[in-house]
Amino acid sequence: MKVLILGAVGQIARMLRNELLNKTDHSIVLYARNAYKRLNVNDDNREVIYDGDFKDRDKLIHAMKDVDLVYINDMGDDKSTKTIINAMNDAGIRRVIAASVLGIYDEVPGAFGEWNKRMIGGSPRMQSQIESARLLENSKLDYTLLRLTWLYNENRNTKYMITHKGESFVGAQVTRQAVTQLIMDIIEEKSDKYFQTSLGVSEPNTDWAKPSFY
């Protein structure tokens, strides 16, 4: 398999890259702004770096050559999301995993939902996340949309739980390590169980009014 990581300098993207290198034999395409300054190839036989913007359709199409799956590390700009979807269609790629945020369907109830709205609910970036998700869900791609709760780092904590679209979101926090594990599990899944799904992602037993680190 050949995996394209869009936004390859992000924390989860870097963790995913390392997991793919260490636990699979997949090839990896790393795509980011100023990538040549910010990234180095670790395995000449399996990795290639592309320096580009998410809005550069031609560069995206070039980076997508022979790619089987695209991972989008950030959907905070809906114009970029639209360009990526169009590029995938042009390149003939159907499989995409995309990281979004909780609250895009107003699906977070209770005190935590109110806290989350105060923190990010009315921001322009949130509106872009909502529109990006709509674009992806209306595309003909085999997408998996990940609605991530509040993120933190804790080595070896890879515990995650999933809620589905239409269900109330549960869980105030999750580690980036757990999100990376979920992405790996989705990549390695042989069936189509994750196709056209929108998954809320959190850590078990964190149904609190706000994350522990706030």
Q: Quote the pTM value.
A: 0.98
Strand partners, 156: none
pLDDT (tens place) for every residue of the chain, 214 residues total: 999 999 999 999 999 999 999 999 999 999 999 999 999 999 999 999 999 999 999 999 999 999 999 999 999 999 999 999 999 999 999 999 999 999 999 999 999 999 999 999 989 999 999 999 999 999 999 999 999 999 999 999 999 999 999 999 999 999 999 999 999 999 999 999 999 999 999 999 999 999 999 9
Quote the CA–CA distance of 52 and 208 in Å, as a whole number. Answer: 40
109 — phi, psi (to 5°)? -85, 170
Q: Whole-angstrom distance between the N-terminal and C-terminal Cα of the chain?
A: 40
The set of residues, in sequence order, having a beta carbon less than 8 Å from that of 21 and lying 6+ positions away, is 28, 42, 43, 46, 47
Q: Which of 168, 174, 166, 165 is nearest to 205 (CA)?
A: 174
